[in-house]
């Protein structure tokens, strides 16, 4: 049985005041029967970990460097994330692929470092609108998976997030059939590469304009084990609607 996961990506949003949203969330769901993870900006990570300390809500990073330490001004290693209290890290988000030119091999190296440090790597894959319209979605996802996911992956240290780029922050969402097609494809690929046991144990998240109003339908799609949520994770009230839908799924 794969444990469901509601993961929030705060991106470059939030200063100290935002911790009150996390406090509210931790108060509402101290011991949820699903996993609840918030990935705040790195500046808040340590304090966020303190906020959720006596609960089962966890916190994570939004990126890490592939090296364990060294001359990399402005970067953060996986060990540093662990030290700050992280249990997971989002890697290969399309915004990092786009803004920082991250390639599949960069994502793979970072994922290796994250797994070596004991973090769960949430590896993001997803097609652009152009690629979808050209009917290239599955080729793109397959290529990103082969290139970004390290060989040492297991159901414990790997989570894959399918995030169509055109659905992120736009209010547009693929049809349930389209989500199902990609999630089944990802599951199949994982089973072929890692064997049925591992392939079936990796959690698959959908991400892209998930809101309380559409979460229930999305969570009803097969092979959707939860969501990676941007905008709607910033406010405890919105994210609670998504958590509640996942608790019911
Ligand atoms: C994201 O950036 O991971 C994301 C899914 O954003 P949003 O929920 O705002 O579309």
Q: Which helix (H) or strand (E) holds 28?
A: helix 19-28
107 alpha carbon – ligand 1 mean position (Å): 19
Q: For residue 109, what are the CA distances in angstroms to 113, 119, 152, 244?
A: 6, 14, 11, 35
Residue 207 CB–ligand 1 contact under 6 Å: yes
* Interatomic CA distance for residues 55 and 53, integer angstroms: 6
Atom of ligand 1 nearest to the CA of 209: 10
Residue 230 CB–ligand 1 contact under 6 Å: yes
156 is catalytic: no
* Interatomic CA distance for residues 160 and 203, integer angstroms: 6
Q: What is the pLDDT of residues 207-235, one digit of tens each?
A: 999 999 999 999 999 999 999 999 999 99
Which DSSP state fits 18?
G
pTM over 0.95: yes
Percent of the chain with pLDDT over 90: 99
Q: For residue 166, what are the CA distances in angstroms to 84, 211, 225?
A: 33, 16, 21
User: Could you say which of 65, 93, 127, 183 is catalytic?
Assistant: 93
Structure confidence at residue 1 (pLDDT) = 85
- Closest Cα to atom 8 of ligand 1: 230
Residue 231 CB–ligand 1 contact under 6 Å: yes
Please give the backbone phi and psi of residue 152, each rounded to the nearest 5 degrees, phi first.
Answer: -80, 10
Structure confidence at residue 59 (pLDDT) = 98
- pLDDT band for 248, please (50, 70, 90 cuts): very high
Q: What is the pLDDT of residues 156-185, one digit of tens each?
A: 999 999 999 999 999 999 999 999 999 999
Q: What is the pLDDT of residues 41-69, one digit of tens each?
A: 999 999 999 999 999 999 999 999 999 99
Please give the backbone phi and psi of residue 223, each rounded to the nearest 5 degrees, phi first.
Answer: 70, 15
Q: For residue 246, what are the CA distances in angstroms to 97, 151, 163?
A: 29, 30, 18
pLDDT score of 7 more than 90: yes
* Interatomic CA distance for residues 135 and 66, integer angstroms: 33
Contact 94, 165 (CB under 8 A): yes
- 98-133 b/e (C-beta count within 10 Å ≥ 16 → b): eeeebebebbbbbbbbbbebebbbbbbbbbbeebbe
Mean pLDDT of the chain: 98
- Closest Cα to atom 7 of ligand 1: 230
37 alpha carbon – ligand 1 mean position (Å): 14
- pLDDT band for 151, please (50, 70, 90 cuts): very high
| Cα-only R_g, the chain | 17
Residue 168 CB–ligand 1 contact under 6 Å: yes
């Amino acid at each position: 049985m794969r444990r469901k996961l509601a993961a929030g990506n705060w991106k470059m949003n939030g200063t100290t005041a935002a911790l009150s949203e996390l406090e509210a969330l931790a108060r509402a769901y101290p011991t949820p029967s699903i996993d609840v993870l918030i990935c705040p900006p790195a500046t808040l990570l340590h304090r966020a970990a303190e906020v959720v300390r006596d609960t089962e809500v966890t916190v994570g990073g939004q990126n890490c460097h592939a090296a364990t330490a060294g001359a990399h001004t402005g970067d953060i290693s996986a060990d540093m994330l662990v030290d700050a209290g992280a249990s997971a890290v989002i890697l290969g988000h399309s915004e990092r692929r786009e803004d920082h030119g991250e390639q599949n091999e960069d994502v793979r190296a970072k994922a290796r470092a994250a797994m070596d440090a004991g973090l769960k790597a949430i590896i993001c894959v997803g097609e652009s609108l152009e690629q979808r319209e050209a009917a290239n979605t599955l080729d793109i996802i397959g290529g990103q998976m082969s290139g970004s996911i390290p060989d040492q992956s297991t159901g414990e240290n790997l989570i894959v997030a399918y995030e169509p780029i055109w659905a992120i922050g736009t209010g547009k969402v693929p049809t349930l059939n389209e989500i199902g097609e990609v999630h089944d494809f990802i599951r199949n690929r994982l089973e072929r590469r890692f064997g049925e046991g591992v392939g079936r144990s990796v959690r698959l998240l959908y991400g892209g304009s998930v809101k309380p109003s559409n979460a229930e339908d999305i969570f009803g799609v097969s092979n959707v084990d939860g969501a990676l949520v941007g905008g709607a994770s910033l406010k405890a009230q919105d994210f609670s609607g998504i958590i509640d839908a996942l608790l019911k799924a």
